Amino acid sequence: MTRFFKAGTAALSLVSLIAVSVAVQAQDDFPSHPITIVVPVPPGGIVDMAARLASEPLTQGLHQPVVVDNRTGASGNIAYNHVAEARPDGYTLLASYSMYHAGNPSLFTNLRWNTDSFTPVGMVAVAPSVVVVHPSLPVHNLRELVDYAKAHPGEVNYASQGSGSMPHVGTELLRQMTGINLVHIPYKGSGPAIQDVLAGQVQMFITTPPSVIGHIQQGKLRAIAVASKHRLSMLPDVPTSSEQGFDNFELDAWVSLFAPAGTPAEVINRLTHALQAGLAQPISTERAHAAGVEVRYESPEQLGETVKTDTAHWSRVIKAAGIVAN
């Protein structure tokens, strides 16, 4: 009996050693075939742009094709589920949008994923938000908007891309900070929202600059604030929220890369180093600025802290506003 037990134990040990050896070899060979970045939104827009911005330097640095796969729907959850349940080997990555990543866990009660389902690889880009109003609204800055809304409670409508979107949650943050009474008008996407703001049917919208910059330059919309710490080069005359005395009203949307939880540290290191080197190239900065975003790399450790901070912050805002995703 003892002899058989020892033989069995030895066989199991050999199998374990072989498994470890294969895993180590797989990490040493990484990557040996193409990598996929899953994007939770359709082509176009800042999330898709950032994913493609990251794919080129990763392709060059890792010497394997890095392809973009747009898997849309369910407020990003289709893509997040797919990556969370993928094999943790570094070949399936997620281009994550900050409001999905930090907000969805508080917006949905039956998610199949949470922030612990992913391992940070690195931040790619950040897009500030701009507050725009229809020119018929007699306000030219945030203070005037707050004063007008207080004098006309319930008369100012604001558009969003849907319940739980950055325009919705961000405007709710402003409402909580100031006590103003605004009326939420949700739309299915930014296109219809912008059209109704242009028509004057809705007076206010918070969004990323690329979708409204042309309308601002033509005088069809008025930009009254950049909800960030720094002014935008494309809107140099528009003051930031901090400059106007609203220090905590910052709506920077980030796009970052994540791998499934359990991805080996060596694989994460290879991915993030290639990403960092690629984003440091001048061409990456030029492409980002042309799309109205800023290249901003954060290491896996820094990004992990950002996720914790943002998730706690937006959870407080969402719960205080009683927001539930459609």
Tell how many helices (H) and how many strands (E) occur in the chain: 11, 11
pLDDT tens digits for range 136-170: 999 999 999 999 999 999 999 999 988 889 999 99
Q: Say whether pLDDT at 21 is over 90.
A: no
In this prediction, residues 215-242 reach a mean pLDDT of: 94
The answer, yes or no, to whether residue 5 has pLDDT greater than 80, is: no
CATH number for the domain formed by residue range(s) 129-227: 3.40.190.10
Asked if residues 256 and 99 have their Cβ atoms less than 8 Å apart, the reply is: no
pLDDT of residue 32: 97
Q: Where do we find the tokens 């294969």? A: 22
CATH fold, domain 31-127+253-321, is D-Maltodextrin-Binding Protein; domain 2 (3.40.190)
pTM, two decimals, is 0.87
**Tell me, what's the pLDDT at 291?**
82
The better pLDDT of the pair 34, 28 is held by 34
Average of per-residue pLDDT values in the chain: 91
DSSP string, 87-141: -SSSSEEEEEEHHHHHHHHHH-SS-S--GGGEEEEEEEEEE-EEEEE-TTS--SS
Q: Is 80 exceeded by the pLDDT of residue 326?
A: no
Domain boundaries, the chain: 31-127+253-321, 129-227
Lowest mean pLDDT of 64-73, 114-123, 224-233, 311-320, name the range.
224-233
